[in-house]
Structure 1
Amino acid sequence: MNSEKDFIAKSLTATIENGSSEWSAPSNIALVKYWGKKQHQIPANPSISFTLRDCKTITKLNFAKRENDGNFSFDLLFEGKPKEDFKPKIQKFLERIEAYCPYLKEYHFTIDTENTFPHSSGIASSASGMAALSMNIMSLEKALNPSMSEDYFYRKASFLARLGSGSACRSVKGSVVVWGNHAGIEGSSDLFGVEFTSEIHRNFSNYQDTILLVDKGEKQVSSTVGHDLMHNHPFAEQRFGQAHQNLSAIKSILGNGDLEAFIKIVESEALTLHAMMMTSMPYFILMKPNTLEIINAIWKFRNDTKIPVCFTLDAGANVHVLYPENVRESVLQFIKGELLGYCQNGQYICDRIGTGAINI
Structure 2
Amino acid sequence: MLEFFHRISFYCSYLKNFNFVIETINTFPHSSGLASSASSMSSLALCIMEIEKKLVPSLNEDFFFKKASFLARLGSGSACRSIYPGLVVWGFHKSISGSNNFYSIPYPYKVHPIFTQMEDTILVIDDKPKKLLSSKGHKLMNNHPYARDRYKSANKNMDKMISILKTGDIRSFGELIEHEALTLHAMTMTSSPYFFWMKPNTLHVIYKIFEFRHQSKINIFFTLDAGANVHLIYPIQERGPILKWIDNDLFFCKKIIKSFCK
Q: TM-score normalized by structure 2?
A: 0.97
User: Out of 10, 14, 19, which is 1:108 matched to?
Assistant: 19
Structure with bigger helix share is 2
Structure 1 residues without counterparts, runs of 5 or longer:
1-89, 355-360
Q: Which has the larger radius of gyration?
A: 1
**What SS does the aligned partner of 2:72 have?**
helix
In structure 2, the residue matched to 1:236 is 147
1:327 positional shift = 0.6
Contact 2:30–2:129 (Cα < 8 Å) also in 1: no
Q: What amino acid sits opposite 1:282 in the alignment?
A: P
- Determine the structure 2 residue equivalent to 1:117: 28
Match of 2:256 in 1: 348
| Matched position secondary structure for 2:48 | helix
Q: Which residue is equivalent to 2:227? A: 316
Change (3 A) 1:172 1:117: same
317 and 333 in structure 1: CA distance in 2 versus 1, 3 angstrom threshold: same
Matched residues in 2 for 1:216 and 1:169: separation?
A: 24
| Contact 1:122/1:217 (8 A) holds in 2 | no
Q: In 2 relative to 1, CA 160–237 (structure 1 residues): closer, same or farther, beyond 3 Å? A: same
Indicate the residue corresponding to 1:127 in structure 2: 38
Counterparts of residues 72-221 of structure 1 (less than 5 Å):
90-119=1-30, 123-221=34-132
Q: Which amino acid aligns with 1:349?
A: I
1:99-128 CA-to-partner distances (Å, cap 9, x unmatched) read: 100111101112222223355665231100
User: What are the superposed Cα offsets for residues 238-276 of structure 1, whole Å, 9 maximum, x if unpaired?
Assistant: 000000011111111111100110011000000000000
CA distance in 1, matches of 2:175, 2:68: 33
| Partner-residue secondary structure (3-state), 1:230 | coil
The code of the aligned residue for 2:152 comes to G
1:322 is matched by which residue type in structure 2? Answer: I
Give the equivalent residue in structure 1 for 2:238.
327
Aligned Cα RMSD in Å?
A: 1.2
Mapped contact 1:291–1:318 kept (Cα < 8 A): yes
Distance in 2, matches of 1:315 and 1:350, equals 20
Give the Cα–Cα distance (whole angstroms) in 2 for the partners of residues 104 and 289 of structure 1.
46
Report the residue type matching 2:218 in the other structure: I
- 8 A contact 2:188–2:195 mirrored in 1: yes
Query: How far is 1:284 from its partner?
Result: 0.7
Q: Which runs of 5+ in 2 are unaligned?
A: none
Give distance in 2, aligned partners of 1:328 and 1:121. Answer: 25
TM-score (norm 1): 0.71
Percent of pairs identical after alignment? 50
Give the structure with the larger strand fraction.
1
Q: Which residue of 1 aligns with 2:202?
A: 291
CA deviation string 1:306-333 (max 9, x = no partner): 1010000000000000000001001111
**Offset of 1:199 from its aligned partner?**
1.7
Counterpart residue identity of residue 153, structure 1: F
> Structure 1 residue 198: deviation in Å?
1.1
Deviates more, 1:219-228 or 1:286-295: 219-228
Alpha-carbon distance in structure 2 between the residues aligned to 1:225 and 1:107: 32
- Contact residue 122 and residue 316 of structure 1 kept, 8 A: yes
